Amino acid sequence: MATVSIHDGARVAVAGVPCLVRAFRCDAPLDPPARIYFGAATSIVIGRGDLIATITGTGLEIRVPDNGMSTNHARITRRDGGWIVEDAGSKNGTTVDGRPLTSPASLVHGTVIEIGHTFFVFHDSMPPNLGSEPLTIARDTNGLALTTFNPSLARQFEMLARVAGSTLSVVILGETGTGKEVVARALHRLSGRKGAFIAVNCGAIPATLIESELFGIKKGAFSGATEDRPGLFRAADGGTIFLDELGELPPAAQVALLRVVQENEVTPIGGVRPIQIDARVVTATHRPLEALVEKTAFRSDLYARLAGLTVRLEPLRGRREDLGLIIASVLRRIAPDQTALRFSRLAARALFTHPFSRNVRELEKALRLAVAIAPGGAEIDLEHLPEILQSEPREVVGERDEDDEPAVESEEGRKARLVELLTAHKGQVAAVARDMGKARMQIHRWIQRYELDLESYRRL
C-alpha cells in the first residue's frame, strides 16, 4: 500500500513573506483573529484606530480599536536582514514574550508582542497565498472545527479533507493533549460515513481482554462467555473506529489487527467464520511508531497497512498563533454568558507565555476553572487561572485605557494607597486587588516590597 506523510518538519522553510497574526484581544476574546502580511513594507506602525491594515509603498499601518493602545504605539522595522520591534513612545508600553520592552528587540519566529490589550504573533516566512483568515474545515453543529493559521497544519488539514471520502487509513501522531481524537472525529464528519464513530483507548484495556473487546466473542468461547458480543470493530461497521494509544497494543493483538485491516473482516474469539466489516481505521499515538518498528516492538507490516496517511500535530507551544482561535472555541462551548467575557492583561499574558506541556487539554482545563470561579460578569484575572499559570511574576506595563490618567505613580503614592485600602478592607487582599485593578499576586508582591504586616491589618 502506498503511504504518504504530509508533515515535513516542525516548521517548513518555504518561500514566503513575514506577517503578524493578530491572535487575541483581552477585551474581545471571541473576536476573530487575522493574519496581516507585511508585503513589500519595511516599516510597520501599530496603533489605535478603526480595524484596518493599510500598506503604502514600503509602509504598513495596522490599526486596532483598542483603548489600551496609543495612536502610534509600536514600530516594526526591517534591519540587517531581520526585523526589530520598538515602542514608539506609547503611554502603556509594549511587552515582548512577557517582558516589558525597554529597547529595540529582534523578532524571531513565534515572538509574542503585547500592545494595549491585543496580542500579536510574528511569523518570519509565511506562504503568501493563505489570506487573512485561518483555514477552517469540518465545522460541526456545536461550532467545533479544525482551524489554524499554522501553514504546516493547514496543509495537513487540507489533505485530510481531500482523503476524507476514501477508505484510506490514517495515523495521527502528536503529544498528549494535542487533539488527536478531535482530528479523528473531524475526519469522520468529513467522510460522510453513516455508521458510528467508535473511540478506543488501547492503553486502557487489559492485554488479556483487548482482542475480545475489539473483535468480539462467541457464546461459550470461554468460561463466563454467556452471550455473543459483537466487539468494537463491528460496532463501527459503516463508520470509523479510532484506536488511540496504538503503541500500547500487545503483539498478539497486532497480529489479529493486521488481518482485519488486510481483509476487512473480523473473527470473534471462539468463532470459526470471519465476518465482513466496513470500518475506516484511524489510529493515534504519542509514541514514535517508526522507532518502535525499528526496535521490532511494533509490526512493520501492520504499520505499513495503517499509515496510509500520516498526520503529525504540533504541540500548542509551537502554534501560539492559534491560541486565540482555540481559546475562543473553548469559551463558546463552556461560557454561560459570552457577552461579558474579557481577560486581564496578566491573565492573557500567562496563557501566551505558559508552555502548556499537556497542550490543548491543559488549556481547556485552565479556561474551565477560570470561567467557573470568576464572578459573573467580571473579567478573568490571573488569580482565576490554575496555580501553575500564576507561578511566574508578570508585571504589566500599564493597566489603563489610553484616555485615563497616567498609570505611572510614585512609590510613595502607591504605598499610601495600598495602606489606605488594606485598612479599609481589614487586610482582605482580594478586595484590595479589585479596587486597584490588579491581581492578588501583585498585591502580595507590593506588601513584601513595602514591608507591610498583613496580619496587623486583619486585626483591625
> Could you tell me the three cell numbers for 182?
478531535
What is the predicted pLDDT for the residue at 21?
Answer: 97
Give, in words, the CATH class of 151-312.
alpha beta
> Could you tell me the three cell numbers for 395?
508585571
Angle at 36 between CA 154 and CA 139, to 5 degrees: 35
What is the predicted pLDDT for the residue at 397?
Answer: 46
Q: How far apart are CA 202 and CA 187, in angstroms?
A: 20
Which of 2.60.200.20, 1.10.3720.10, 3.30.360.10, 3.40.50.2000 is the CATH number of 17-126? 2.60.200.20
Residue whose cell numbers read 499515538: 285
> Could you tell me the three cell numbers for 123?
511569523
What is the predicted pLDDT for the residue at 225?
Answer: 66
Q: Dihedral, CA atoms, 72, 74, 77, 80, nearest 10 degrees?
A: 150
Q: What is the mean pLDDT of each run of 10 residues along the chain (460 residues)?
A: 37 67 96 94 96 92 96 95 95 94 92 97 90 84 78 93 95 94 95 96 90 82 73 95 94 92 89 90 93 92 94 92 95 85 95 92 96 86 92 50 44 81 83 73 77 78
Q: Residue 113: beta bridge partners?
A: 96, 120
What is the predicted pLDDT for the residue at 141?
Answer: 55
What is the predicted pLDDT for the residue at 2?
Answer: 37
pLDDT in tens, 128-166: 888 899 989 877 656 567 899 999 899 999 999 999 999
* 3-state secondary structure (DSSP) of residue 66: coil
Distance of CA 101 to the CA centre of its chain: 26
What is the predicted pLDDT for the residue at 44?
Answer: 97
Q: Residue 52: beta bridge partners?
A: 63
Assessment of whether the complete model's pTM goes beyond 0.95: no
Phi, psi at residue 34, to the nearest 5°?
Answer: -155, 155
